Amino acid sequence: MFTQLKGLFSPQAVALHLKGLPKIKTTIMDSCFPGRAQKPFALVGINDILDIVGTAPVIRRGGLSTPVGSGSVSINMIEPLPVKPSKDVTGQDLNNLRMILAEKASLDAWTRDTIAYLRDTCRFTTEGIAATALTGTISWPVKVDGGWDTYEVEFGTPYRINPTKLLTASDVKVADVYETLSDMETAIQDGGYGGEIEFFAGKAAYQALYGIVEDYKSTAKLKVEVGAGYINVGGYIVKKMSEKYRNPQTGEMVSKVPASEIVAYAKDAPAKIIYCALDDVDAKLQPYPFFPKPIKLPEGNGYRIIGQSKPLPARSPKSICWAKVV
């Protein structure tokens, strides 16, 4: 049975199934980290990070770095956090599979559903990691023997401005909103970026902004437009970001952008997800963004299908600006 399972999850079969799956919406990855790079090594060199971020990152915890010199956090290589979701093949599953071995369509459907589950989990985990990277520090819970640890990579501190008026102030005007967005743009431009700036607003921030502009009459000096999921304030496009990711340790849903904040990012800044080589012979040690495979459980307790990915989101903190507006 194991040989047959391996055949179902061969690279060729997986590639065909992936082509047939619908694309996943991962807003932070696709908007803030649009580039993709595959490195044929298990680790990412500091020079690769410097080309993107502009500063050398610091590993705070997690034990996933190679130290050099005498400093405890001085490094020249980083190992991206391995993402390894899994799905057990139970005895009932095996009995069902034996019954449909001759039915290609049913077998393909089971395989495709399993691949979809593992792919989606890898992708959504990377999306959550990318959301934390917008703060300037990747911070993600890691399951270890005896409990949990935290994997952290610090790229630096993004800009942060203090608005002259909060969006919830009784006398706030559209001009005040424009000033806040303009100040965020200026901060990023002072960092050497900002050919084009985009904004994401947390749920409460977006609702407050909508309340301000709802009855505003555009003028020749300041145009305001409300569209599906965005508000245009004098040419600054603010998009609603109420999406959340699940914290794997607590199970709680965490806002990708805090409800009371707005984040701005420069579209012209180099930003990408780096994928490193998988520590897996079956994957031929290649930097696949996603690779599934079956393994045998100990003591003949069945099988497990695991998905694998080693992503590292990277973006210069100087291309990001935050503002607490509510």
CATH code assigned at 73: 3.15.30.10
Statement to judge: residues 13 and 151 lie in one domain = yes
Residue 306 to residue 249: CA distance in whole angstroms: 19
Mean of the per-residue pLDDT values of the chain: 87
Based on the fold, state whether residues 185 and 280 are members of the same structural domain.
Answer: no
Q: What is the layout of strands, in order, in the sheet containing 303-308?
A: 86-89, 303-308, 291-296
**277 and 255 fall within a common domain:** no
For 60, the token pair is 């705070």
Clarify whether residues 97 and 6 are in a common domain: yes
With 0-12 / 13-18 / 19 or more C-beta atoms within 10 angstroms meaning exposed / middle / buried, residue 120 is middle
Do 168 and 130 reside in the same domain of the chain? no
Looking at the fold, whether 31 and 136 belong to one and the same domain comes out as yes
Exposure string for 202-233, b = 16+ CB within 10 A, e = fewer:
bbbbbbbbeebbeeeeeeeebebeeeeeebeb
Helix (H) or strand (E) holding 18: helix 11-20
With 80 as the cut, is the pLDDT of residue 301 above it? no
Mark whether 165 and 258 lie in a shared domain.
yes
Task: Mark whether 146 and 63 lie in a shared domain.
Answer: yes
Q: Please count the structural domains in the chain.
A: 2
CA distance 113 to 164: 51
Q: Helix (H, G, I), strand (E, B), or coil: what is residue 313?
A: strand
User: Is there a single domain that holds both residue 96 and residue 244?
Assistant: no
User: In which domain, by residue range, is 249 found?
Assistant: 159-266+320-324
| pLDDT tens column, 46-99 | 777 777 777 666 655 443 333 333 333 444 678 888 899 999 887 777 777 777
- If asked whether residues 112 and 218 sit together in one domain, one would say no
228 and 284 housed in the same domain: no
Domain with 226 in it: what CATH number? 3.30.1930
For 103-137, write each residue's pLDDT tens digit.
Answer: 778 888 889 999 999 999 999 999 999 999 999 99
- Determine the Cα–Cα distance for residues 55 and 64; give it in Å rounded to an integer: 19
